[in-house]
Structure 1
Amino acid sequence: MIAAPTVREERAGPVVWTGIIAVTCLLLVLLEHMLWLVLPLIFGIVMYYTLLGPMRRLLRLGFSRSVSSMLVCAIFFGLSALVLVAALSWNAGLEDSGSWSDTLALYANGGVAFVRNTMALLEVKFPILAEMHLTSLANKRFKVFTDTFAQRYLTTILVTAAGWLPSLLLAPFLAFFFLRDGLRFKKFLARAVPNAYFERTLFLLHQVDQTARRYFEGMLKLTVLDTLVLGFGLWVIGVSSPLLLGFISALLAWVPFIGSVVGCVMVVIVAATDAPSNPLVAYGAIAVFILARLLDDFVFMPITLGRSLKMHPLITVLMIFIGGALSGVAGLMLVLPLLGVVMVIGETLGRLMTNPRLRARHRYAKQLREKQASGDLKV
């Protein structure tokens, strides 16, 4: 008895990967001009994968899909509203002791004082820096920036934030309809596929969904781990609101490179303001942040995201730089999940188009349909 030959799945070749990278770059360029829709879509997808687990538990308990999605969304958004009310009441309590402008000015002055003290210390250690008058030059630049910040930047920031608010309100609606009608949308796509490719198409849809789910769930787990590590380290050295600072820094880390730098600057400014007479606290905050980033890159990242996007590190680093060059900060944030989804689609389509068995089945099915359609016709 002769065993049937096994069909070996070939990995994507250079042509397929060239197409994957080209399509990813094209989508990044297009998405840059549709950020008003892309950002709510990202937040909606994050909410969708956050609420998908609880909704599946309700489905296993016997609830319908519509009821499960409504219950989960109602509980989640109700809790979010309570948190928002608590934050606003806390903000009202802060306004009794001082305005937000006074608080921002306090932290800005603390950060500037830390930089000045650091430069003065460097001038003492390195006389060449004293000859360059580094401290006086930096003081002039700081004075010009602080005097013109409100006129040049504050109004633009507030107007931009107000313009983004309506589009961000789309995120809850997108999350609700993803939960309720996601399965229906998958069936709609599957019905348009020829029968010969039906099984592989279902596999493709499943893989795309699993890739996106693993990525965003991994990012959420990574955010929790970073928050705990940073919060604990800042609490040990005596920085105020350690968990809040850790959480904001972990969220900013979703944007590669830039987010980490902004988070580190924020932590150092708060530490310098809390202990203006003890610069070691600010230096300790820098050390804590660097240690947290090292743990994130070499321990937490492989555990949470390393198994979700199976890409070579060289491709990952190159695509991060390409995403930043094409679409700025949005490209840095979107390039990895977008590349992961396009990679799954491209590799699966490449296998579909190059599989001789599937192409033969498709041709045979077309011949049968043509023969059946013309069976009662006579010349």
Structure 2
Amino acid sequence: MARRQRPGGGAVIHGALRDERSGPFVWTGIIGVTCLLLVLLEHMLWLVLPFILGTVMYYILLGPMQRLLRAGFTRNVSATLVCIVFYGATVLLVMAAMTWTSTPGDTDSWHETGALYLDGGVAFVRNTMTLLEAKFPILAEMHLTSIVNKRFKAYTDNFAQRHLTTILLGAAGWLPSLLLAPFLAFFFLRDGLRFKKFLARAVPNAYFERTLFLLHQVDQTARRYFEGLLKLTVLDTIVLGFGLWVIGVSSPLLLGFISALLAWVPFVGSVVGCMMVVVVAATDAPNNPLIAYGAIVVFILARLLDDFVFMPLTLGRSLHIHPLVTVLMIFIGGALSGVAGLMLVLPLLGVVMVVGETMGRLMTNPRLRARHRYARRLRDKQASADLSV
């Protein structure tokens, strides 16, 4: 891209921009645009989800690709090499996992394993209801155990016949969309810089510096968010896996990793992760309910550490959003777009916040507007120089 000439006064501009603060009108626009995008997201989830996965892969592979660039490789070759290595390693790991889970000595099928864990969870709930009735007579008078048994029976009877076909068809429909993620990651790596240059060419010269800064800030905000999310996932996996290993639950690291991934979805993911951990613990020790209760305590302690220690050290430092705005936007995201809104509202708000604040500063800065008007007058004068009689 050709260099563009810029008038002087850069220090004055940067100082003025640093002193400005976003006002209520800018923040109203930021929240409004975020809500509008959440509404649109509900109808484009088939594209948004692979885009998010592709972005995560992009930031995972960006570091290795930059090392290859510094070693002298071209951008195309660097992107191709890191994608081949990463995707090849992923395929090998998946094949190894499938081979390990289907060893000849393993006689239980996936259906039987799922039924085993379901029975363990149901037995744990029934035992808990019995203990509660023994401790609180009013619950025994309400026949709590009988009510819960009827609800479980009504839900689990013919579950496969009623829901399995729908689940399989839904998974098959999502598979082609998810396969877009590796392609998106590859083209982000290869053509990301070209796309930024394409956007920058459409910007007037007076706003060129700040537009480059805007693109850099958006990229850095998304990068910090996803890197913080990955660090948070690792910390949650280690802490929860260690706690489950201490109390004797099987496959503690795997359970910790799945629970950490589910925690990407606020509230809903934590509830599902806790239920999964409790079901596994209850199935491992059906005659010792203290193991399952201990798993609940471990999970709660891990979530408290996550909310008050790990998250401020990772995501909190990434987005720089006020806690009140964060909580309100999480509820708004869930109300507008359900589970997808809960998961995506924070990174979406972070990017819109950077764009909105920078655009507000650009449009309200008198120095930049004066430079733009002056540049337009110079272009008009140059274009009409040979037209005067």
Pairing 1:1-379 to 2, within 5 Å after superposition: 7=16, 9-93=19-103, 96-378=106-388
Following the alignment from structure 1 to structure 2, what is the Cα–Cα distance between the partners of residues 234 and 121? 24
State which drifts further: 54-63 or 88-97. 88-97
Following the alignment from structure 2 to structure 1, what is the Cα–Cα distance between the partners of residues 174 and 19? 46
Root-mean-square deviation (Å): 1.2
Q: 1:348 to 1:95 in 2, by over 3 A?
A: farther
Look up the SS of the partner of 1:255 in the other structure. coil
Look up the SS of the partner of 2:243 in the other structure. helix
State which drifts further: 68-77 or 265-274. 68-77
Q: TM-score, with normalisation over the residues of structure 2?
A: 0.95
Following the alignment from structure 2 to structure 1, what is the Cα–Cα distance between the partners of residues 237 and 107? 28
Following the alignment from structure 1 to structure 2, what is the Cα–Cα distance between the partners of residues 327 and 364? 45
Equivalent AA in structure 1 for residue 310 of structure 2: F
Following the alignment from structure 1 to structure 2, what is the Cα–Cα distance between the partners of residues 236 and 114? 21
Equivalent AA in structure 2 for residue 124 of structure 1: A
> Percent identity of the aligned residues?
81
Which contiguous aligned blocks of 4+ residues in structure 1 show a shift greater than 2 angstroms?
A: 4-9
Following the alignment from structure 1 to structure 2, what is the Cα–Cα distance between the partners of residues 126 and 11? 58
* Structure 1 residue 96: Cα displacement: 3.9
Cα deviation, 1:154-212, whole Å, max 9, x if unaligned, reads 21111101100001000000000000110000000001100000000000000000000
Q: 1:95 to 1:316 in 2, by over 3 A?
A: farther
Match of 2:9 in 1: none
Following the alignment from structure 1 to structure 2, what is the Cα–Cα distance between the partners of residues 95 and 29? 50
* Structure 1 residue 152: Cα displacement: 2.3
Where in structure 2 are there 5+ consecutive unaligned residues? Answer: 1-11
Cα deviation, 1:75-98, whole Å, max 9, x if unaligned, reads 100100110111111232278411
Cα deviation, 1:99-144, whole Å, max 9, x if unaligned, reads 1111111000000000000010000000000000000111111111
Cα deviation, 1:45-100, whole Å, max 9, x if unaligned, reads 00000000111111111111111111111110010011011111123227841111
Look up the SS of the partner of 2:102 in the other structure. helix
Equivalent AA in structure 2 for residue 284 of structure 1: G
Q: 1:209 to 1:250 in 2, by over 3 A?
A: same
Look up the SS of the partner of 1:97 in the other structure. coil
Following the alignment from structure 1 to structure 2, what is the Cα–Cα distance between the partners of residues 31 and 140? 38
Look up the SS of the partner of 2:157 in the other structure. helix
* Structure 1 residue 221: Cα displacement: 0.4
Following the alignment from structure 1 to structure 2, what is the Cα–Cα distance between the partners of residues 249 and 302? 19
Q: TM-score, with normalisation over the residues of structure 1?
A: 0.97
Following the alignment from structure 2 to structure 1, what is the Cα–Cα distance between the partners of residues 358 and 95? 47
Following the alignment from structure 2 to structure 1, what is the Cα–Cα distance between the partners of residues 342 and 103? 37
Equivalent AA in structure 1 for residue 87 of structure 2: F
Number of aligned residue pairs: give it: 376
Q: 1:153 to 1:356 in 2, by over 3 A?
A: same
Look up the SS of the partner of 1:362 in the other structure. helix
Equivalent AA in structure 1 for residue 240 of structure 2: L
Look up the SS of the partner of 2:316 in the other structure. coil
* Structure 1 residue 317: Cα displacement: 0.3
Where in structure 1 are there 5+ consecutive unaligned residues? Answer: none
